[in-house]
Amino acid sequence: MARKKKYNEDEVIEKAMHLFWRNGYAATSMQMLEKEMGINKFSIYASFGNKHGLFLKSIQCYKKQLNSIFEAFKNSNKGIEDIKDFFYNSVRICQIEGNQKGCLLTNTYNEFSGIEDKQINELMNSFMKDLKELFIQKLRMNSKKDEETIVKQANYLLLAKHGLAAASRVNNEKEIEDYIEMTFKNL
């Protein structure tokens, strides 16, 4: 019937994601996105609705990239050791391209914590809930912990992930390793 798109939506959304990741939502303008994505503003709006929609798609794109390590995480049965691997893998993902941008999800959680945004908040809460549930499952695998301890440790790990995001911005492999090892020392 008509023309085909010159660009691939998955490719340009990944570029958008990296820009949001680096600068945060508020500090990223459509002009910057236009340049980074290499397509016209109109095309962005045609494909993704608006800036907010583009951001949501960017987060989904990030979660998709995370999914590879998430699947490995789910399908293993080594308990706490799996969580530790997950931490190491998470920090590795945050360091691609030599960046020190932390974790996009954690950054978003931080940026929107004082701001009411139903869609973002739902997205973040469901992610945190899923992650906590996974932590609990893994923690249950090891030894003879009571349920109270398990929940306590899962909460601890969920918050420790914020420290991990900060760690991933440190340009020092040793420091990162130290942080992770210290975190898991007493579980």
Length of the chain: 187
- The site string for a copy of itself over 59-98 (x = CB under 8 A, - otherwise) reads ----------------------------------------
- Give the separation between CA 79 and CA 127, rounded to whole angstroms: 20
Q: Which is nearer to a copy of itself, 6 or 118 (CB)?
A: 118
Scanning residues 4 to 33, which ones bind a copy of itself (CB under 8 A)? 21-24, 26-27
With a CB cutoff of 8 Å and minimum separation 6, the contacts of 97 are 18
Scanning residues 29 to 58, which ones bind DNA (CB under 7 A)? 29-32, 39-43, 45-46, 50-52
Residue 142 contacts a copy of itself per CB under 8 A? no
Q: Which is nearer to DNA, 8 or 172 (CB)?
A: 8
- Give the separation between CA 108 and CA 26, rounded to whole angstroms: 10
Q: Which of 14, 34, 85, 111 binds a copy of itself (CB under 8 A)?
A: 111
Scanning residues 68 to 97, which ones bind DNA (CB under 7 A)? none
Q: Which is nearer to a copy of itself, 76 or 166 (CB)?
A: 166
φ and ψ of 29, to 5 deg: -100, 160
Choose the stretch contacting a copy of itself; rule: CB under 8 A; options: 42-50, 67-75, 81-89, 107-115: 107-115
**158 and 142 Cβ atoms separated by less than 8 Å:** no
Number of residues interacting with a copy of itself: please give it, by CB under 8 A.
39
- Give the separation between CA 87 and CA 161, rounded to whole angstroms: 8
CB of 19 to DNA, least distance (A): 11
CA distances to 7, 11, 27, 94, 124 from 144, rounded to whole Å, are 54, 47, 48, 34, 31
- Give the separation between CA 50 and CA 23, rounded to whole angstroms: 18
Binding site for DNA (CB under 7 A): 1-7, 28-32, 39-43, 45-46, 50-52
